[in-house]
Amino acid sequence: MRLLLITYYFPPCGGAAVQRWVRWLPDLIKAGFEVTVLTTRDGDYPVLDESLLADIPPQVRVLRTRTPSFEKWWKLLAGKTSALPHGSLETEGKSSLARRVLVWMRLNLIIPDLRRFWNPTAYKSAVDFLRQNPIDIVITTGPPHSTHLLGLRLKQRFKLDWVADWRDPWTSVYYLQLNPPSRLSMRLHRRLEKKVAHTADLNLVVSEYLKTELAGANSCVIYNGYDSSKFSSFSSAPTDPVARVILRLKYVGNVTEGQDLEALADVISNGLEALDFELSFVGTKLNPEQDALLRECFGCKLRYTGFLPHQEALREMRSAHILLMLVNYYPSSQGMLTTKLFEYLAAGKKILCLGPHGGEAEKLILEYSAGACFDKSELDAAKHFLRTLHQDWVSGMSLDNRADVSALSSQSQALKLIEQLRRLKKG
């Protein structure tokens, strides 16, 4: 079966956005699929991770097209310290007027997102390719959800089977919920969202909640999962001598809008108090206020790594004693399932999660006995949980979680994907 995967984010782009399909490509090739990827050349990527290029099977054909870059223009207009938004449209009182105007324009005039300006060249390249190469299924993955508009046009023109892959919600994504555009703009978002979901022959979604949001559309839940091969080389426990002297708490990834960093700082600083511990933020971008808060609370116990290649980030997870997670506070938080959670579960460490109750992330953490989740009104209980883990660690008990999470591996999820693709082709 021949697949054309269209994605804005692809290695050497790094970060969570590329992990889902990079992990599935080897399994698709092994299952006999012929895969061509249409992606960007020098796009506006949040981070670069050249190491991920080695994970792309040589059988995968990669077509790269030029795309407008707005990073330099954004910095020119909004200020050199203002980075192009990646999953955040937050403005604060201290934000420059130029940034507030640019964010307003992005929210209300550029629908569904800034990456739509890649679509003309991507569409031309896709048309040229499809005219010369028979393809069974076209797959688009978003965000950016403007990529799905390419699938919509190709579906209408070539009458091909089309799969829309939703790595995040569209209208209910946290940054639109916390920074709502005008009613007219949101109405346009919803109209496009509905048209994509109901025109696609199949929608792949990352959570049950997102499936309910696409009511009436043909949808299937396939988790992001974790790559089991990436964890096989790690030892079962930290081997350096410091690991038995200092309790290691680690947060991996960015802190985004709606996450309660102040609550996390309160729980750790007052839960562990004067005890010997190290708090690491791995690959985390913080604004000056957040950085000042953490430095005031933790001083020399605080450690930043900066961005790390993916395998090194996994090594950081595996060498932790306790992994920290923050779920965003916003109306649709129930369906928030990040790639990080599955890698946390695969790392086999206890998880301290702070955020609203009732979400699918909490369900998985409890199902696999991986830790505990606390709302902002339960910080005393969170501190008690943290003290209990510390006492267990001091007594020599392992904080490793031994639950079998193999059903959540990307390899297991790839089997579901392959089954869905074959079923779609059979009609």
pLDDT tens digit sequence for 17-34: 999 999 999 999 999 999
Report whether the peptide linkage leading into residue 288 is cis, meaning its omega lies within 30 degrees of zero. Answer: no
From CA 305, how far away is CA 286, in angstroms rounded?
12
Query: Phi/psi class of residue 278: alpha, beta or left (left: φ > 0; alpha: ψ in -120 to 50)?
Result: beta
From CA 173, how far away is CA 178, in angstroms rounded?
9
Pairing of strands 61-66, 2-6: unpaired
Q: Which residue has the higher pLDDT, 426 or 67?
A: 67
| Cα distances (angstroms) measured from residue 180 to each of 8, 66, 113, 299 | 24, 31, 14, 36
- DSSP per-residue letters across 222-272: ----B-HHHHTTS-SS--SGGGGTSEEEEEES---TT--HHHHHHHHHHHH
From CA 315, how far away is CA 49, in angstroms rounded?
16
Report whether the peptide linkage leading into residue 112 is cis, meaning its omega lies within 30 degrees of zero. Answer: yes
Angle 153-154-156 from CA coordinates, rounded to 5°: 65
Over range 142-170, report the average pLDDT: 96
Split at pLDDT 50, 70, 90, the class of 245 is: confident
The total of other beta-carbon atoms located within 10 Å of residue 416's CB is 15
Split at pLDDT 50, 70, 90, the class of 425 is: confident
DSSP one-letter code for 160: -
Q: Which of 93-107, 200-214, 292-306, 308-322 has the lowest mean pLDDT?
A: 93-107
Report the range out of 103-112, 192-201, 207-216, 270-279 with the highest average pLDDT: 192-201
Q: What is the dihedral of CA 211, 170, 163, 120, to 10 degrees?
A: 170
Report which secondary-structure segment, H or E, holds 277: strand 277-282
Specify the pTM. Answer: 0.90
- Give per-residue pLDDT as tens, 159-197: 999 999 999 999 998 888 888 899 999 999 999 999 999
Ordered structural domains, the chain, with CATH: 2-70+109-225+409-426 (3.40.50.2000), 228-406 (3.40.50.2000)
From CA 409, how far away is CA 396, in angstroms rounded?
30
Split at pLDDT 50, 70, 90, the class of 86 is: low
From CA 3, how far away is CA 6, in angstroms rounded?
10
- Give per-residue pLDDT as tens, 306-344: 999 999 999 999 999 999 999 999 888 888 888 899 999
DSSP one-letter code for 83: P
From CA 427, how far away is CA 424, in angstroms rounded?
5
Split at pLDDT 50, 70, 90, the class of 51 is: very high
- Give per-residue pLDDT as tens, 407-423: 999 999 999 999 999 99
Task: Classify 284 as helix, strand or coil.
Answer: coil
Split at pLDDT 50, 70, 90, the class of 91 is: low
Contact 38, 5 (CB under 8 A): yes
Q: What is the pLDDT of residue 227?
A: 94
